[in-house]
Amino acid sequence: MRRREFMAGLASAVAWPVSVRGQQAGRLPTIGLLGANATAWSSRTTAFVTRLRELGWIEGRTIVIEYRWEDGRPERAAEIAAEFVRLKAEVIVTVGSVVAALKRVTPVIPIVFALANDPVGGGLVASLARPGGNVTGLSSQAPDLAGKRLELLREVIPPLRRLAILLDVSYPTAVIEMGEVQAAARALGIEVAPLEIRRAEDIASRCSMLMRTHFTLWSVHSLWQTNRAS
């Protein structure tokens, strides 16, 4: 399912906290929306606003949507969350990669994430069935599928014996997913070499390193993402 379809479905989840909390006389309920950047999220915000309208929540008439963008600076998440608190937002809509920062700022305002790879393993929610706290959303269950993807890769490339994987070590879900891949690799008899990436500039040096080895390069879903919030 495409992420803009996720955003359309997410509008239904957002409508409930807005309807419950947006009760102050003379003030429209406010939704705080935090994404990567306006360009990357244009189709998603359109789908989100369209679905809200279908549910009776019309931007500028019955609700206000405050749009904020990281623009390549994930450290801004906490600052933006504090701004949403000052604006008395009824709900915050975002993605899983910034939820932890938002939770530290507000344990009260409902936070709805469009997608997270592993919300339980990442500490965003207590469980998928009972998330608890003020956070909920949709999960791709990426770590559960990581080992299976390696099994499928082995079926496609039966002679595969050595595999190098680009790993963004600053991304907690990627580290968890890497553990699943390594467990599957041991069972399949595949040697895995994690290539740690801490900044975008590291990619070129890691690829140069591969040129001198006999490893197959693999970048799996969340193990390296140049724009995690997108």
Q: What is the pLDDT of residues 144-174, one digit of tens each?
A: 677 888 898 899 989 888 888 888 887 767 7
| Helix spans in 55-171 (H) | 76-86, 99-105, 142-156
User: What pLDDT sits at residue 47?
Assistant: 93
DSSP class of residue 161 equals: -
- pTM for the whole structure: 0.63
3-state secondary structure of 187: helix
E-assigned strand segments in the chain: 30-35, 64-69, 91-94, 111-116, 135-139, 162-168, 191-197, 216-218
pLDDT in tens, 169-220: 877 677 778 888 889 999 999 998 888 888 778 878 877 777 666 565 555 4
**3-139: CATH architecture:** 3-Layer(aba) Sandwich (3.40)
Q: How far apart are CA 128 and CA 126, in angstroms?
A: 7
142-223 placed in CATH 3.40.50.2300: yes
For residue 209, what are the β-bridge partners?
none
Q: How far apart are CA 185 and CA 207, in angstroms?
A: 21
Cα-based distances in Å from 195 to 149, 175, 178: 18, 12, 11
Q: Do the first three CATH levels of 3-139 and 142-223 match, i.e. the same topology?
A: yes
What ranges do the domains of the chain cover? 3-139, 142-223
